Chain A
C-alpha cells in the first residue's frame, strides 16, 4: 500500500481568524442548532461557529471544510476542529475584516451615488440619518426598530444592521474619520445586549462580528469597491445572490452605513 500521505488523507480546512481564540483555546464541545444544504451552525460556549461546505457563503464566523460531515459531533479547540471524529487542522486562515484603501469623502460620496443608482430606493433612511448624526442613543433607537424584524435565520432587519455597522466602521476608517469608530464603540455594548435578547442566536452573532468590522466575503468585496478597489455593480450583483433576502438587505445596510459616513448629505 502507498503511504497514507500520498492519498491526501491529511485533512485541512479554511478558518476565519475571528475564531482563532476558540480554535487555539481548550477543547470545547459544540451544539448544533441549525443546518442548511450548505452549512450547519453550532453554539460553542457563548459563540457561534458555522461549519460550511465549499459552496456556502464565507461568513465571518465559519470554518470551510471540503465535505460536510455526516455526524453531528463537534469539538473545537487545541488547534483543530473535530467533526464527526475527524480531527481537522487549519490549512488556511483568512481575515473577515477587510482593510480598505484610504479614500476621500468626495470619492466616497461619488461611490455611494453609484451604489444608489443600482439599488431599490429605501423608504426608511432613519438608520443612515442616525449614524450621520453621530449620536449613540439615536443609533440604538433606530436599531431597535429593525432588530429581529423579518423572517428567516437572519431577519432582514438584522442584515440591514450588520451591513450598516460594518460599512460605517470600515468606511469611516477609510476616510480617516475617527468619530465613526468612537460612535460604534459606545453603541456596541447596548446593541450586543439587545441583539442577544431580540434576535436569533445566529443573527445576533453576525451583528456582533459586524460591530467590529468582520463581515461575509461578498460584503467585504462591496466595501472594497466603495473604497475604490473593484466594480461596485459587480460586487452588488454578487451580494444580491446571498441567501433568500439577506443579500439585498445587507446591501441596504451598507448603503445606510456609507451615507452615515458621508454625513447623510446624498
Chain B
C-alpha cells in the first residue's frame, strides 16, 4: 500500500473537470482511492476523512490543487499521475469560429464578443454571487448552477434582476431548458406547447419525461433554484418566469413545480397563476398529496390530448415479497420528497427510510450522485445486507450531464440485492432521445431484477406495496 499527496500550487481547474479527474483516476488499475480537488478547508477535511496524512498539505490553500492517491503499488501511482495530466490537459473541441483569438476573461468582455443573453454560473458557492451580479450588470439572464450560496445573496441577486427585468435561475438550479437547449442536467425534449417553471431540478426533469412519454413537447423549462418558494426569497424568480411564460405565444399550458413550499408563498404563486392568461397547473409537492404524474396528466388533458399510463418495465415476482423496511436511495431531492409523501400517506408501511444523496452534505467535495454512482452502490450493498430491508427504491436520472451508462454500474448490485431477498424498484427519469438510450437502460435494469417505472410516483406506490408484502 502506498499513498501520494501532491500540492500543485496556483493551479486552478473547474469543479466539473476535477470531479472527472478523480473519477478517471479511480478507473486506473490498482488505484484504491483518489481525490483531485482545490485545497479548500472542506476538501482538506474530506481528505483527512479518507485517511490521508495532511502534514504535506500544510500551508496549502484554496488556490492550490490537491492530488491524493492511494494505490497498491508505487507504479500504479505513477500511471495515475500520467492519466491525471492527460485529463487535465484535455480541451473541449470548439467549432473553428469560436477557437479564434484568446478566450474572454470576464463576463463583460465575453458579452461584448458574442450576442449572448444568458450566462451560466458554475463556480464554488462563495464566488457565485460576484459572477452572477456581473452577468446581471452586463444585461444577461443568469442561471446559477452553484449551490452553497447564502440566502441573503440570493435575495439580493433576485432584487437586482427584477430591477433590470432579467431572470435569475438559481442558485442551486440544476436544470433549465430554453428552446430545447439544456443547461445543467437536462433531458432531450421535443419542442411543444408546455412551459415549465420549477424550484426543483429533478421535478422539472420528471415532468419533461412524463410529457415526452405522452408525446407532448416542452418549449421552455426555467429552473428558479431550490429555495425560490421559501419565505425569504418569496418566489421572486418563479413570478418572473411565470410572467415570461405567460407572455410567450408558443406556450399553451404552464406547469409550476416546487419542492414543498412555504404556505404563504405558495398562496401568492397561486394568485399570480390565476391571473395568467395561459392555463397553469400547479405541482407543489406536499400540497394535497398531488403527484408530478397527476400534474403532467392534467397538463396533457388541458391540451385536449389523452394522457397515457406512464411506461413501466415490471419484473415478474418470483416469490412472495417479504414485508419490511422501505429504503430509498435518491439522487434527486424532489423525487425523494414525492416518494416520502406517498410512503407517509400509507399507515401500513412498516417503516420507510429515504435519503437524498444529492443533498449538500453528501456532495461536498465529490461528484453528484447523478454522475457518480459510488456512494449509491455502497449504500445499496449496505441496505441489501440488512435483513429488515424489504425493498430498495432508487432513482436513475438520464439526459445531458448525467452518467453516460448508469445501468451498467447498477445492474450487478441490483442482481446481488435481489439474490439476498430484497426487491429493487427503479424510478427511471429519461426521454426517448436521451443520449443514454432510455429503453435499453430500462431493459438492462429489468434483466438485473429491478422493476422499472417512468413515473416516480408509480415507482413509489409499487415500492410501498412491496414493503407491505403485497405483490403490487
Write the residues of chain A forming the contact surface with B, with a CB cutoff of 8 angstroms: 1-3, 5-8, 10, 12, 14, 17, 20, 54-55, 66-67, 79, 89-95, 98-102
Q: How far is the CA of A51 from the CA of B409 in the complex (A)?
A: 36
Chief secondary structure at chain B's binding surface? loop
Contact with B83, one of A1, A10, A89, A101 (Cβ below 8 angstroms): A1
A-B CB contacts (within 8 Å), total count? 66
Q: List the 7 shortest-distance A-B pairs measured between CB atoms, nearest first.
A: A99-B250, A95-B191, A101-B249, A2-B24, A5-B404, A92-B180, A2-B87
Interface assignment of B363: CB less than 8 Å from any CB of chain A: no
Please indicate the chain A residues that have their CB under 8 angstroms from the CB of B180 in the complex: 14, 92-94
Kindly list 12 other residue pairs between chains A and B, CB separation below 8 angstroms, not including A7-B90, A14-B180, A93-B189. A2-B20, A2-B24, A2-B83, A3-B24, A6-B24, A55-B97, A79-B432, A79-B433, A90-B188, A92-B181, A94-B179, A95-B191
Contact with B20, one of A6, A14, A89 (Cβ below 8 angstroms): A6
Please indicate the chain A residues that have their CB under 8 angstroms from the CB of B97 in the complex: 54-55
Q: Assess the A93–B95 pair: CB atoms within 8 A.
A: no
Q: Assess the A17–B90 pair: CB atoms within 8 A.
A: no
Q: Which residue on A lies nearest to B193, using beta carbons?
A: A99
Q: How far is the CA of A67 from the CA of B98 in the complex (A)?
A: 13
Interface size class of B (residues with CB under 8 A): 20 to 34
Q: How far is the CA of A8 from the CA of B249 in the complex (A)?
A: 36
Write the residues of chain B forming the contact surface with A, with a CB cutoff of 8 angstroms: 20, 23-24, 27, 83, 86-87, 90, 92-93, 95, 97, 179-182, 188-191, 217, 249-250, 400, 404, 432-433, 435
Q: Assess the B435–A6 pair: CB atoms within 8 A.
A: no
Please indicate the chain A residues that have their CB under 8 angstroms from the CB of B189 in the complex: 93
Min CB–CB distance A104 → chain B (angstroms)? 14
Please indicate the chain B residues that have their CB under 8 angstroms from the CB of A6 in the complex: 20, 24, 87, 90
Q: Assess the A8–B179 pair: CB atoms within 8 A.
A: no
Please indicate the chain B residues that have their CB under 8 angstroms from the CB of A90 in the complex: 188, 433
Q: How far is the CA of A55 from the CA of B95 in the complex (A)?
A: 10
Q: Which residue on B lies nearest to A79, using beta carbons?
A: B433
Chief secondary structure at chain A's binding surface? loop
Interface core residue of A55, A92, A95 (most chain B CB under 10 Å): A92
Please indicate the chain A residues that have their CB under 8 angstroms from the CB of B95 in the complex: 54, 66-67
The 11 listed contacts between A and B (C-beta, < 8 Å) are: A1-B86, A2-B27, A2-B87, A6-B20, A10-B435, A12-B435, A20-B190, A89-B435, A90-B188, A93-B433, A94-B191
Q: Which residue on A lies nearest to B177, using beta carbons?
A: A92
Q: How far is the CA of A182 from the CA of B140 in the complex (A)?
A: 42
Q: Which residue on A lies nearest to B249, using beta carbons?
A: A101
Q: A3-B27, A92-B180 are in contact. Are A17 and B435 (CB under 8 A)?
A: no
Q: A3-B27, A10-B404, A100-B249 are in contact. Are A91 and B435 (CB under 8 A)?
A: yes
Please indicate the chain A residues that have their CB under 8 angstroms from the CB of B435 in the complex: 10, 12, 89, 91
Q: How far is the CA of A14 from the CA of B95 in the complex (A)?
A: 14
Q: A10-B404, A102-B249 are in contact. Are A93 and B90 (CB under 8 A)?
A: no
Q: Which residue on A lies nearest to B404, using beta carbons?
A: A5
Q: How far is the CA of A101 from the CA of B182 in the complex (A)?
A: 24
Q: How far is the CA of A101 from the CA of B250 in the complex (A)?
A: 8
Q: How far is the CA of A92 from the CA of B27 in the complex (A)?
A: 31
Q: Assess the B90–A2 pair: CB atoms within 8 A.
A: yes
Please indicate the chain B residues that have their CB under 8 angstroms from the CB of A14 in the complex: 180
Min CB–CB distance A35 → chain B (angstroms)? 18
Q: How far is the CA of A7 from the CA of B20 in the complex (A)?
A: 10
Please indicate the chain B residues that have their CB under 8 angstroms from the CB of A2 in the complex: 20, 24, 27, 83, 86-87, 90
Min CB–CB distance A61 → chain B (angstroms)? 16
Q: Which residue on B lies nearest to A90, using beta carbons?
A: B433
Q: Which residue on B lies nearest to A4, using beta carbons?
A: B404
Q: How far is the CA of A89 from the CA of B187 in the complex (A)?
A: 13
Q: Assess the B188–A91 pair: CB atoms within 8 A.
A: yes
Q: How far is the CA of A260 from the CA of B400 in the complex (A)?
A: 44
